[in-house]
Amino acid sequence: MKRGQFLSVIGLASLVLAGCDGPRGSIVGADAMASASLSSDYRLSPGDRVKVTVFNEADLTGEFPVNESGNVAFPLAGEVSASGKSVPEFKAELTKTLRGRFVKNPKVSVEVVNYRPFNVIGEVRNAGQFAYRPGLSMQDAVAMAGGYTYRANTRLLYVRRAEAGGESSINPDERPVPVMPGDNIRVPERYF
């Protein structure tokens, strides 16, 4: 085989093989599904930050925190109750408040831009408060806290949800358990 033919065959083979490594880009998976379910079920609480867009009203568009009293201080409308409401419920409340008094026919969109943080304590290397993002599992939370210490019980975690009254125990190896904003995760010490 001549050198020119050999290079042609190699070039053709590399083009064929380059197309065989599969599609590029992000794969829609558990993170997208967890994010979708979170946005419909999630209840706003102090520490969250929402982005409100009012169509054709630049002065009423912006990011607003849910304050300690559970309200959003909104221009013109004042304090609008947000704590304990889902995003669609808060949107409806804000639209109702603006309609007629401040904007003739408001077109409002609301999204959560920052969720309240979660905490990891106990037998982890770097206990503390961490920024929440949709799709986090308990294993991810432990990894963000630097992983287990040598004394940690790696088969048991205690979780206190913001809405629940007490701690519940979970085995992180059985199934992935999602982290929710405001969770307190405690990694216990093993006894032997």
8-58 pLDDT per residue, tens: 555 545 444 444 433 322 223 333 334 434 545 789 999 999 999 999 999
Minimal CA–CA distance to 59: which of 42, 76, 80?
76
Chain center to CA of 74: 24
Please name each of the domains of the chain with its CATH number: 33-114 (3.30.1950.10), 118-187 (3.10.560.10)
Full-prediction pTM beyond 0.75?
A: no
Average pLDDT over residues 170-183: 90
Cα 112 to Cα 40: distance, rounded to the nearest angstrom: 11
Is the pLDDT at 187 greater than 70, yes or no?
yes
Residue 7 has pLDDT above 50, yes or no: no
Residue 62: what pLDDT? 95
Task: Please give the pLDDT value at position 41.
Answer: 76
